[in-house]
């Protein structure tokens, strides 16, 4: 039986899916789509909700993204939702949004709950903006008030779980989203 030696090679931070697929010997549908590399935690603002900064955990194991929400109230017709969320400094933000859908979501602990999903725009510290769907849930026991799941990252990002704040730090978010400045 012969012994094989594998040599690790350093990678460039930004690569097309085609380049990554070619390197790994995999097929790629979107041959020239560029992706932004994020770390396991990033700084995000939600401009349409007037919320930020939020320390976000990226989690490719979670299908949907979720935002910490308190005092969740549906309108009588069920088409709008109001809630309170908190930014990095604990400031309360009273938010209102259209309900995108209601769906049962199973948490990592296996608990199934019915959640309300909204659509919003997100901005990362580097200035990139994209639309995403977010479920509202109590994340008061979690370190990060927002979880960025794979549906919210699909088509835009690659994740390097060994690093943090690859898009930029808090001051970079304040530069592109001034509402995220310290009070």
Q: Which residues are 130's β-sheet partners?
A: 122
The predicted pLDDT at position 8 comes to 45
Q: Once rounded to an integer, what is the mean pLDDT over residues 41-68?
A: 94
Banded pLDDT at 17 (limits 50, 70, 90): low
Q: Which residues are 136's β-sheet partners?
A: 67
Asked if residue 21 has pLDDT above 80, the reply is: no
Identify whether 75 is part of a domain.
yes
Structural domains of the chain, count: 1
Banded pLDDT at 34 (limits 50, 70, 90): confident
Identify whether 22 is part of a domain.
no
Identify whether 109 is part of a domain.
yes
Identify whether 170 is part of a domain.
yes
Strand ranges (E), the chain: 36-38, 41-46, 51-59, 65-68, 70-74, 80-86, 92-98, 101-106, 112-124, 129-137, 146-149, 157-159
Asked if residue 81 has pLDDT above 80, the reply is: yes
Strands 129-137 and 65-68: parallel
Identify whether 21 is part of a domain.
no
pLDDT, mean over the chain? 85
The predicted pLDDT at position 6 comes to 43
DSSP string spanning 69-80? Answer: -EEEEE-TTSSE
Identify whether 119 is part of a domain.
yes
Question: Above pLDDT 90, what percent of the chain?
Answer: 62
Identify whether 131 is part of a domain.
yes
Identify whether 9 is part of a domain.
no
- Domain around 72: 35-180
Banded pLDDT at 171 (limits 50, 70, 90): very high
Q: Once rounded to an integer, what is the mean pLDDT over residues 149-169?
A: 92
CATH code of residue 106: 2.40.70.10
Cα dist from 101 to 79, 82, 110, 162, whole Å: 9, 14, 21, 34
Scored b (16 or more CB within 10 A) or e, 10-22 reads eeeeebebbbebe
The predicted pLDDT at position 140 comes to 83
């Amino acid at each position: 039986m012969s012994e094989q030696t594998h040599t690790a090679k350093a990678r460039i931070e930004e690569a097309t899916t085609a380049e990554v697929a070619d390197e790994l010997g995999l097929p790629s549908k979107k041959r020239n789509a560029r992706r932004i590399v994020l770390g396991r935690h990033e700084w995000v603002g939600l401009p349409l909700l007037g919320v930020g900064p939020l320390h976000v955990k990226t989690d490719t194991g979670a299908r949907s993204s979720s935002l910490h929400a308190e005092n969740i109230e549906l309108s009588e017709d069920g088409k709008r939702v109001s809630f309170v969320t908190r930014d990095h400094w604990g400031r309360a933000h009273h938010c209102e949004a259209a309900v995108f859908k209601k769906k049962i979501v199973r948490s990592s602990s296996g608990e199934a709950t019915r959640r309300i999903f909204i659509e919003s725009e997100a901005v990362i510290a580097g200035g990139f903006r994209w639309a995403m769907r977010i479920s509202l849930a109590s994340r008061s026991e979690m370190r990060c008030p927002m979880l960025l799941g794979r549906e919210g990252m699909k088509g835009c990002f690659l994740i390097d779980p060994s690093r943090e704040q690859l898009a930029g730090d808090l001051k970079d978010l304040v530069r592109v989203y001034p509402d995220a400045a310290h009070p």
